[in-house]
Structure 1
Amino acid sequence: MNQKSRAFALLIGGALALSAFAACAPDSSDGTTEQDAASDVRICYDNLGGGYLDDSVTKASVAGVTVVAGYNAAGTRVDDAFSFSIATYADGVFTAVSAGTVVYRTADGELGTVEVVPAYVTDPGYQYSGGNVDFDESGGEEQLGHTHDPSLIEVQGSDGRPVYYIFSTGWNNRSESVTTGGMTYGNAIHVSYDGMKTWMYLGRTFDWETRDEDFVDTKAGRFLYSEGHTAEDQGFPSGGNGYSASDAGWWAPDIVAKPDGSGYWLYTCVVDGSEYANGRLEGLQLDGESRLYSRACILLYESETLDAGSFKPVMDENGEQYAFVQCSIPRTGESHDVNAIDPQIIFDEDGNMYMAYGSFGSGNYLLELDPATGLRKDGKTQWVTHDQIREYIEGDGGIQDLYVETSDAIGWKHEYYGTNISKQNMEAPVIARHDNVTTMDENGTVLEENKTYFYSMHSYDGLADNYQMWGGRSESVWGIYRTTTDQGIVYNVGPGNGANQGNKYMGAFTWHNKSQGNTELDIILPGHNDLFTTNSGVSVAAYITRQSGNDGNFVTQLHQYYLNSYGQIVINPNRYGGEIDRAVTAEELFAYTDGGKFKMVVSLNQQDTDSGKRAVNTSRDVVLTQDPDDGNSGSIYDGSQASGTPIGTWKMYGDGYIVFRFETTLKGSNGGDSGETVYYGVVRPAWLGDQNRSGFTITCLGQTGSNTRSMSMFMNNYSTMTGSGIVGE
């Protein structure tokens, strides 16, 4: 496919503003949404006719452009030359009419889009089947089955509309072709042409047939399978452990556009494939040693396109592939080590480039890169030996010296591994940047304006035992990343440990009282997520979830996220269905809610799954009532009726913001204590998978006193919406 990269926000890390006064986009003085030329913007039309919308979400000001094409909701080009059936254009203002996309051209020839979506999201048409096919990667499926460790990128298609790609972990059967859908070398690629709702498998970044030589004979292959070992079977692991070089896998990529617009960089990690299998611990056994080692390294590939099979290694002047980070980790014994996996790229507001990565036992790390070359800025791209690696870890001034067993020891630097940004048992760091953040309290007092914040997320615990998404916020890309109260850092001892710190954005949970025949998945072991913002301002968290009761089946899901009035990330608990990010008023919320009833999920510092890999955190019913003298505030009651003593109060303010205050710390469905009495969040439209209909969701993050942990809380309303597409088939 012949597509050019869109430089608008992706080249500086995908950072767009999510402001306290801009639910969709910056407002102009006449109340319309105002955008610069050659940008992408989303507006909405009132598909229920309730009259709750204003011009800030139904109009967009883009002056001096020419409409060139229109596409309806199905993606078909419309005959209307001026696309008035989708949006009218007069006096430099687009006004929403019906679902679709208008493409326009600026005076200098650049293309931009105005996407019109329903104010109340309609059936996205991506329901799960309820069978194993939901977890299948190939065959042109609509879902992201068998897709692990996602990384997103957006490009502009040849017709001006956005196209989205997900790059993910590849699997390790080298005998399959790059495009067959079988397991093979390289990372998997999926594409979406309908705004990230449905996806199609394309192939792999490269495979055995597209390589210049056998992987075992490359520098990376020799490091993984023979460096430091001189036995006759050099090139393969020793010790009779049964795994071999064909077990290598390419994990957890990050795909980014080159800042000069010449193509794409693919940061990925290759791992040796050793594991605990057939009752035996696997790994590389070195001469004269009894312990086994597991190895990985982070590598760089490049391509002018995003086509399957097009990526080639970035080589030095000697024809060897550059190395970013390497590890050689003992398979037994306690060790605060560094694992060379899970690279993620972030740009700061000045265009400086960084890579977060790792790890597990000692936390995650950050290195600065050169945006001109994509390589380490410090020039440390030469391959190192096993002995050098162990010296970096165990020698004087090494990682194990720097690692101090206190929760406030964070932010130290190592000459090879970089700056420590989180601590202990976690992996898969991702950092997102948001500019022009304005914050306010519930009284409407502006606290900060035009701030730039960096947000980190990390996967706590093991991917098959208690994966959860935690993190923090910082004014610097280097950290320190802190909780909503500024009292905690990103620190994980283990499931439910009282010393754990950080913002818990999402853990495993299930909705009770699902609609009849509902096939929506429970959230099971969520983690290894990407944070991504489109050119039109939609921010999504893409993460792995697993089949309830079977952690071997997994799928990637996308959920929209927002910033609450304090500028903290809150994640929509429902899958992204194309819904617009717009403020919802209390009047509108209660107009479409059955008797003020909601389902509520309370996150806890706990093990979120049982031994059978099923969610132990279940939603429960609560009722919100409105104060007769102030419809923007009221009480909250436990149960399905507003009876007895309320457990707290709520108040809506600003652009769809909400605050909850509870009389005592809020409890989960199993009686566990969240430790929270105060939550700040947003109210937004959503496709409610548990009810298979359009409705509203409330998503919050705790901000209580001097807590070092901040817990998320979600609600879905019992929706009464009806109409065309409002209820799923």
Structure 2
Amino acid sequence: MLNKKIMILLSSIILLLLSAFAIMFYFNNDQKPKTLQASQYPSPPAETPIEKVTTEIIHDESKWTTNNTHDAEIIKVDDWYYTFSTDYKVAGTPLPGIQIRKSKDMINWTFVGRVFDNVTAEAKIWTNGGSTYWAPDVVEINGIFYLYYSVSELGTRNSYIGLATSTSIEGPWDNQGSVIKTKEGDTFTVNAIDPGIIIDKDGRSWMAYGSYFGGIFITELDKATGKLKNTDEEGTLIAQRQNNDYAIEGPAIMYNPDTDMYYLTVSYGWLEDTYNVRVARSESIQGPYLDYNGKNMIDISDGSFDTGTKLVSSYAFNNDSGWLGTGHNGLLQEGDDYYLTHNARVGEDLYWSHLHVREIIWTEDGWPVVSPERYAGKMKKPIESIKTENIVGQWEQIVLSRIDDSKATSTTLHLYENGKIDDENGEDYWELKGDSLKLYWYEPGGAPNDYWIDTVTVLPQWDWENWQPTLVFTGLSQDGTAVWGKQLPLEDKE
């Protein structure tokens, strides 16, 4: 009899233990995602986390890496990536020259030097003493490098775009004089700064340029000289804001042969805080350029706040002060891979300006979006597909409002194993097909078919804020709002 009671007691204890283990197993699986293999994530970009503010390097250009970068344009030559940028220095006076840096991986950058020691006499006289070069762009045509630069009298249309050429990307450079000059009171409306050069699908050269004054124009270049094909014309207006109270500048254009479309990027906002990058596309390089919602980039009827599909703007994930002034972008196409560069100022000290490089991901309907994390290299072993078990868990989400350009912060998002969002019994839910994740947000009577839908792409990236591998998502909401996400936490798994 005693043995029977002991057996029943032992059986009860075993059942209780098994139940406890089952509950723990379910809880842990519900809270933590099953990660990919380590080789399927990018490697750490450095041995230890990279500090955003490092005062000891202020006067040592050899250690600047991404620091003190502004208005950088990017080009690949042989096995090197190069950026040319406006001279900038924390707690110092900018020098006249154009900064050059190079990198093998777009992560670790070496300072090469500067183009020119002083502004040319012609440009200085035209701009009433302009002392520095702004916003360069460089392109290679038939073995010759064409470097376009700006000089301007701040706050006026007394501006000058010039050209220098070289047979070597690192120089020396020969100045070729002006490409276009504008002056207060002339017959032009454009402001001659911020050149962005693009070779179209037919091999013709074009320059997009301009700023607050009159907006962004595009004009054809003479490939033999690199200068304007029609010297007395400013070109075609392709983007503008309502007036000079609303910033627009820094144009760049890329062509995607898969969509047979041209994509215009411009920056809105003020460079120290609200700077943000917008995109629109066109079947013709001369426009019209329409955003995700079909709005023409020259349409100022609504004040142009909601014109242009936002790609990146000031933001902060948890455990980090975030980044401000995320604008003035450059574009790079390398085979099937596309990248966007832009300025970024440190959240806790906006005088520190860094270079950011981000992967561009294309939506199913042919729109570019960018990774919420900076580029940290390619994964060593490509993934075949993201699985549902990889998605389950806690995420941070950032929504980049089309209207509000102030710093966007993250909120917590929980994706449950049963397909629900935040509430296991709620109406919001998610679906995964391949690497495409759809988030369904229930709003009966307000949304089409009662649900707003965010469509995002999931991919492995390096988490710069928490210094670990992670999964991220990036995409657009139903109304063309950029949506970012980052998964937390992650287990170590080989």
Given the two structures, how large is their TM-score scaled by the length of structure 2?
0.82
Query: Aligned to 1:165, which of 64, 82, 91?
Result: 82
Match of 1:690 among 465, 480, 484: 465
Q: Counterparts of 1:415-564 in structure 2 under 5 Å?
A: 416-424=233-241, 425-435=247-257, 437=258, 451-485=259-293, 487-490=294-297, 500-512=306-318, 514=319, 522-535=322-335, 537-564=336-363
1:145 is aligned to 2:67: yes
Deviations 1:408-428 (A, max 9, x none): xxxxxxxx2211111213111
Aligned partner of 1:38 in structure 2 is none
Which of 96, 99, 122 is residue 188 of structure 1 equivalent to?
99
In structure 2, relative to structure 1, the CA distance for the partners of 1:548 and 1:223 (3 Å cut) is same
Aligned-partner residue type, residue 436 of structure 2: Y
CA distance in 1, matches of 2:351, 2:475: 31
Question: Residues 579, 505 of structure 1: CA spacing in aligned structure 2 closer, same or farther, 3 A cutoff?
Answer: same
2:134 equivalent among 238, 251, 275: 251
Matching residue within 635, 658, 674 for 2:420: 635
Corresponding residue to 2:409 among 599, 612, 618: 618
1:713 paired residue number: 483
Residue 548 to residue 557, structure 1, CA distance change in 2 (3 Å): same
Q: 2:148 aligns with which of 267, 272, 275?
A: 267
Matched pairs, number: 446
RMSD: 3.2
TM superposition shift of 1:718? 1.2
Cα distance change on mapping 1:163 and 1:687 into 2, 3 Å:
same
Q: Deviations over 1:406-457 (max 9, x none)?
A: xxxxxxxxxx22111112131111111111x2xxxxxxxxxxxxx3121111
Match of 2:401 in 1: 604
2:167 to 287, 295, 304: 304
1:170-319 alignment runs, 5 A limit = 170=87, 183-193=94-104, 195-208=105-118, 215=120, 218-225=121-128, 245=129, 247-258=130-141, 260-261=142-143, 263-272=144-153, 274=154, 293=156, 295-307=158-170, 310-314=172-176
Q: Deviations over 1:29-79 (max 9, x none)?
A: xxxxxxxxxxxxxxxxxxxxx9979xxxxxxxxxxxxxxxxxxxxxxxxxx
SS in 1 for 2:44: coil
| Unmatched runs of 5 consecutive residues or more in structure 2 | 1-33, 242-246, 445-450
8 Å CA contact retained: 1:482, 1:488: yes
Q: Greater relative contact order: 1 or 2 (C-alpha under 8 angstroms, separation 6 or more)?
A: 2
> Partners of 1:474 and 1:137 in 2: how far apart?
45
Write the distance in 2 (CA, Å) between the matches of 1:685 and 1:529. 23
**For residue 442 of structure 2, what is the amino acid of its counterpart?**
E
Query: What's the CA shift for 1:583?
Result: 6.0
2:222 matches 1:375: no
Report the 3-state secondary structure (helix = DSSP H, G, I; strand = E; otherwise coil) of the residue aligned with 1:144. Answer: coil
- Residue in structure 2 matched with residue 645 of structure 1 by the alignment: 426
The answer as to whether partners of 1:458 and 1:470 remain within 8 angstroms in 2 is: yes
The change in CA–CA distance for 1:661 and 1:347 in structure 2 (over 3 A counts) is farther
d(CA) in 2 for partners of 1:470, 1:343: 17
Equivalence for 1:27:
none
- Residue 356 of structure 1, aligned match among 185, 208, 212: 208
Q: d(CA) in 2 for partners of 1:492 and 1:134? A: 47
| Change beyond 3 A, Cα 1:150–1:498 | closer
The DSSP-based 3-state class of the residue aligned with 1:464 is coil
Tell me if structure 2 keeps the 8 A contact 1:187–1:250. Answer: yes
Once structures 1 and 2 are overlaid, which stretch shifts more, 462-471 or 127-136? 127-136
Amino acid at match of 1:484: Y
Instruction: Measure, in 2, the Cα distance between the counterparts of 1:548 and 1:603.
Output: 17
1:478–1:355: structure 2 CA closer, same or farther, 3 Å change rule?
same
Displacement after TM superposition at 1:469 (Å): 1.1
Q: Assess if the C-alpha contact under 8 Å between 2:269 and 2:405 holds in 1.
A: no
**Which one is further off, 556-565 or 458-467?**
458-467
Question: Which whole-Å CA distance do the structure 2 matches of 1:354 and 1:138 have between them?
Answer: 37
Percentage identity across paired residues of the two chains: 24
Asked if the contact 2:35/2:491 (under 8 Å) is kept, the reply is: no
Contact persistence 1:603–1:713 (CA under 8 A): yes
Instruction: Compute the displacement of 1:528 (Å).
Output: 0.1
Is the Cα contact below 8 Å between 2:321 and 2:348 reproduced in 1? no
2:474 is the alignment partner of 1:699: yes
- C-alpha displacement of 1:522: 1.0
**CA–CA distance in 1 between the matches of 2:466 and 2:49?**
12
Conserved? CA contact 1:697–1:717, under 8 Å? yes
Looking at structure 1, the residues matched to 68 and 35 of structure 2 have their Cα atoms a distance apart, in angstroms, of 43
State the TM-score, normalized to the length of structure 1: 0.57
Does 1:658 pair with 2:456? Answer: no
Higher helix share: 2
